[in-house]
A and B are shown apart, each in its own frame.
Chain A
Amino acid sequence: ETGVTQTPRHLVMGMTNKKSLKCEQHLGHNAMYWYKQSAKKPLELMFVYNFKEQTENNSVPSRFSPECPNSSHLFLHLHTLQPEDSALYLCASSQEVSGESYEQYFGPGTRLTVT
């Protein structure tokens, strides 16, 4: 595997379900990100992890819970979601040096539909 991988690629879940999205990067980067992408809207940064430590949490509802067990893996745990949470969830990674991050590499995304 190369680059950034995400599983599953598609997910349909009910509002009472619990599911997890997985992201893995094979680039040796030290920063990982979760984004939400809705149609015709800018990418919304949800969470940032640097060296496994969460550094950004952009007012994301608690029904989204991130986990970063090591610098290569990132999870997004989902529970009691709302229909408006339906979107493409993108994972990205980058190399951060002295507080400055270089270009981000994205995974293919998980298309989430909440019914």
Chain B
Amino acid sequence: GQNIDQPTEMTATEGAIVQINCTYQTSGFNGLFWYQQHAGEAPTFLSYNVLDGLEEKGRFSSFLSRSKGYSYLLLKELQMKDSASYLCAVRDSNYQLIWGAGTKLIIKP
């Protein structure tokens, strides 16, 4: 079956760096997405990786290794507003999105 694994919850300190991992086993691969979802709000698109390597976007970076079925989202200079759930999703060979259950990130002062 198809599976996306990410930690259920993580805690980090304001101003620090946190890395949220995502491993996947899917039938085919056509890209990996990261979304941010604040409590009670819609998920919003953060990043997209289809080739191996690091994509940087301001304080957020996303890394992909297709051979290892692995990605991570790196958040730098954490702010309180970064407290949210972070969803990893992989597009399979049928271009269908397979979603992880999300990682709830708690930022402490």
Within 8 A of A (CB), among B31-74: 33, 41-45, 48
Pairwise interchain contact B95-A108, C-beta atoms closer than 8 A: no
Which single member of B30, B44, B101 contacts A42 (CB below 8 Å)? B101
Nearest-neighbour CB distance to chain B for A50, whole angstroms, equals: 11
Q: Mark B9-44, 1 if CB is under 8 A from A, else 0.
A: 000000000000000000000100100000001111
Interface size on B, residues (CB 8 A): 21
Chain A facing B: main interface SS: loop
Residues of B near A103 (CB, < 8 A) are 33, 45, 48
Once A4-B42, A42-B101, A108-B42 are accepted as A-B contacts, the answer to whether A100 and B95 lie under 8 Å apart by CB is: yes
Nearest-neighbour CB distance to chain B for A43, whole angstroms, equals: 4
**Assuming A42-B101, A100-B95, A106-B43, what are 8 further A-B pairs, CB within 8 angstroms?**
A40-B8, A42-B98, A42-B99, A42-B102, A45-B97, A103-B48, A108-B41, A108-B42
Enumerate chain A interface residues (CB-CB to B < 8 A): 4, 40-43, 45, 56, 90, 99-101, 103-109
11 A–B contacts from the bound complex (CB under 8 Å): A4-B42, A40-B101, A42-B100, A42-B101, A43-B87, A43-B89, A45-B96, A56-B96, A90-B43, A105-B45, A107-B42
